[in-house]
């Protein structure tokens, strides 16, 4: 008897599909509609830190270089106050196989798929992660299917997404290219069910554990060169896995006093599931369209419980404009001889703003870079913006309007970004939790879980429960 392939029927089967495609029964960890045993779920991946390093070494992942950006640091010190201007370092993750930190996430999923006897891997992605999954699958002798959201209803795809799809195909993956909307998750579920392949989701414990090595490497490399821990690590934030994994690695290495700073491109007012807005943004990841919703409710993903939980680990949240990131992308090339993709330079942009305010004897680490070229190059993205009616000009980046104008700074002094109210995000998270289970029904265990998930105390959660009705 054939299965019902209607949208409603496939979505209704999502839990059984996920269980079969991951080999994880999330029910083992779930304690209530909102709480689950997060740390036990992470431990039961079964990998030690040494295992992670060994697995990644086998497929050309990890041990990437850490560079001191000497000329950029000098430029920042010229515009900073007396005694200010922290040393800026960058972790060059473009050196990983497939050209981004996401190779770390994909490496552990590919290994897990191989040892569990799956014939292939599937991932839903806009691109960089898909290329990483395809690269890792190729090295493990696995088939690979990437389900990619590429086009608006006109059949027009952003050059960055098109380029990332090309990269997936270059590594041997079959790419299912879709239009924006709910079709992506539906097709992911259908393809998982039809093939019996492993679900290389961005949000599984395997993917997040893979990023932990990035945090430990930063700690080891900074200590080895400077004899101290980094004072701040700036992490590009979208779905939360980058931040969660890196922060966990830093904590494992004992960097308890290192500030974990999230950074996203401010795309306020643009809806990521909107056909109209889809091609009116010049960043397909690392922006507030993912960063804010995923911070305020992580479990809006393709697994029953998300292992990427950014509010658990972030100390600050910084926002930057598209124009500021494009400016820093050009400046990195001209000052440091490193041509890297704009999405990987989001955290670099925030690092400049923070370094200006930090002491000269302090260290700020830009936690990743990514490869560039073809449609991922900033000139391609700016040309596409103009073709879609976006004004591109030089001036004060404070005049940037997402979906309408990209204002590129004229000088470094204009690169400031702005702070996101992290407590406001925490309250939004609690409101979302209350929509799942009314606050009056929260148990002591629920309060403890929620407090850990927003990096506060149970008393703080109780203190703000009255705000949930506002």
Q: Is 334 a domain residue?
A: yes
- Confidence (pLDDT) at 468: 77
- Confidence (pLDDT) at 125: 85
Q: Is 148 a domain residue?
A: yes
Q: Is 1 a domain residue?
A: no
State yes or no: pLDDT of 452 exceeds 80: yes
N-to-C CA span, the chain: 50
Beta bridge partners of 236: 263
State yes or no: pLDDT of 1 exceeds 60: no
Confidence band (pLDDT; 50, 70, 90) for 461? very high
- Please state the rounded mean pLDDT for residues 439-456: 97
Contact assessment for residue 165 and residue 150, using Cβ atoms and an 8 Å cutoff: yes
Task: Provide the token pair at 204.
Answer: 């599984």
- Confidence (pLDDT) at 469: 64
Residues 256 and 341 in one domain: yes
Residues 279 and 333 in one domain: yes
Domain extent, residue 159, equals 7-54+100-205
Q: Count how many domains the chain has.
A: 3
Q: Is 365 a domain residue?
A: yes
Residues 166 and 81 in one domain: no
- Confidence (pLDDT) at 453: 98
Confidence band (pLDDT; 50, 70, 90) for 470? low
Q: Is 43 a domain residue?
A: yes
Residues 322 and 448 in one domain: no
State yes or no: pLDDT of 144 exceeds 70: yes
Residues 14 and 94 in one domain: no
- Around Cβ 142, how many Cβ atoms within 10 Å? 21
Residues 340 and 436 in one domain: no
State yes or no: pLDDT of 127 exceeds 90: no
- Please state the rounded mean pLDDT for residues 3-32: 89
Three-state DSSP state, 175: strand
pLDDT in tens, 337-390: 999 999 889 999 999 999 999 999 999 999 999 999 888 899 999 999 999 999
Q: Is 83 a domain residue?
A: yes
Contact assessment for residue 404 and residue 352, using Cβ atoms and an 8 Å cutoff: no
Contact assessment for residue 341 and residue 370, using Cβ atoms and an 8 Å cutoff: yes
- Confidence (pLDDT) at 278: 84
Residues 15 and 132 in one domain: yes
Three-state DSSP state, 364: strand
Residues 304 and 438 in one domain: no
State yes or no: pLDDT of 229 exceeds 80: yes
Residues 391 and 431 in one domain: no
CATH of the domain at 163: 3.40.50.1100
Residues 385 and 264 in one domain: yes
Above pLDDT 70, what percent of the chain?
99
Contact assessment for residue 233 and residue 260, using Cβ atoms and an 8 Å cutoff: yes
Report the mean per-residue pLDDT for the chain: 94
The whole-angstrom separation of Cα 320 and Cα 267 is: 9
Residues 285 and 377 in one domain: yes
Residues 433 and 333 in one domain: no
Task: Provide the token pair at 111.
Answer: 């290994």
Look-up of token digits 């992942």 = 61
- Point out the domain boundary residue: 205, 234, 253: 205
- Confidence (pLDDT) at 276: 82
State yes or no: pLDDT of 436 exceeds 70: yes
Nearest to 173 by CA among 121, 111, 216: 121
- Confidence (pLDDT) at 465: 86
pLDDT in tens, 298-351: 998 888 899 999 999 999 999 999 999 999 999 999 999 999 999 889 999 999
State yes or no: pLDDT of 280 exceeds 90: no
- Point out the domain boundary residue: 383, 404, 419: 419
Q: Is 393 a domain residue?
A: yes
Task: Please state whether 21 falls in left (phi above 0), alpha (psi between -120 and 50) or beta.
Answer: alpha
């Amino acid at each position: 008897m054939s299965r019902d392939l209607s949208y409603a029927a496939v979505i209704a089967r999502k839990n059984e599909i996920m269980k079969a495609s991951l080999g994880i029964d999330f029910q083992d960890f779930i304690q209530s509609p909102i709480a689950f045993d997060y740390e036990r779920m992470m431990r039961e991946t079964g990998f030690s830190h040494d295992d992670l390093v060994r697995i990644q070494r086998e497929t050309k992942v990890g041990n990437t270089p850490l560079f001191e950006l000497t000329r950029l640091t000098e430029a920042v010190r010229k515009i900073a106050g007396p005694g200010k201007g922290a040393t800026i370092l960058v972790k060059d993750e473009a050196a990983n196989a497939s050209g981004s930190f996401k190779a770390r996430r994909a490496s552990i999923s590919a290994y897990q798929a191989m040892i569990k006897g799956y014939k292939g891997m599937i991932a839903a992605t806009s691109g960089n992660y898909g290329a990483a999954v395809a690269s890792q699958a190729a090295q493990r002798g696995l088939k690979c299917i990437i389900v990619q959201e590429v086009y608006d209803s006109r059949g027009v795809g952003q050059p960055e997404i098109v380029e990332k799809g090309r990269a997936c195909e270059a590594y041997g993956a079959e790419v299912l290219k879709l239009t924006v909307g709910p079709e992506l998750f539906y097709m992911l579920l259908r393809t998982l069910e039809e093939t019996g392949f492993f679900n290389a989701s961005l949000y599984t414990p395997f993917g997040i554990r893979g990023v932990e090595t990035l945090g430990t490497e930063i700690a080891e490399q900074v200590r080895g060169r400077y004899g101290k821990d980094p004072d701040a690590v700036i992490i590009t934030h979208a779905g939360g896995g980058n931040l969660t994994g890196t922060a966990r690695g830093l904590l494992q290495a004992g960097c308890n006093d290192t500030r974990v700073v999230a950074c996203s491109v401010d795309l306020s007012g643009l809806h990521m599931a909107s056909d109209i807005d889809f091609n009116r943004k010049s960043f397909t990841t690392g922006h507030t369209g993912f960063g804010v919703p995923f911070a305020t409710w992580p479990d809006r993903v393709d697994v029953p419980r998300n292992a990427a939980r950014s509010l658990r680990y972030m100390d600050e949240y910084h926002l930057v404009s598209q124009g500021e990131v494009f400016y820093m992308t050009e400046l990195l090339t001209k000052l440091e001889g490193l041509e890297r993709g704009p999405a990987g330079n989001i955290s670099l942009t925030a690092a400049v703003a923070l370094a200006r305010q930090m002491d000269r004897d302090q260290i700020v680490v830009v936690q990743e870079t990514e490869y560039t070229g073809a449609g991922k190059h900033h000139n391609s993205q700016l040309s596409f913006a103009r073709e879609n009616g976006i004004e591109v000009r030089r001036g004060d980046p404070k005049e940037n309007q997402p979906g309408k104008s990209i204002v590129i700074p004229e000088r470094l002094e204009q690169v400031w970004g702005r702070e996101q109210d992290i407590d406001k995000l925490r309250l939004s998270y609690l409101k979302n939790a209350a929509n799942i289970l009314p606050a009056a029904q929260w148990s002591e265990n629920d309060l403890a879980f929620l407090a850990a998930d927003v990096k506060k105390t149970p008393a703080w959660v109780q203190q703000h429960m009255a705000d949930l009705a506002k």
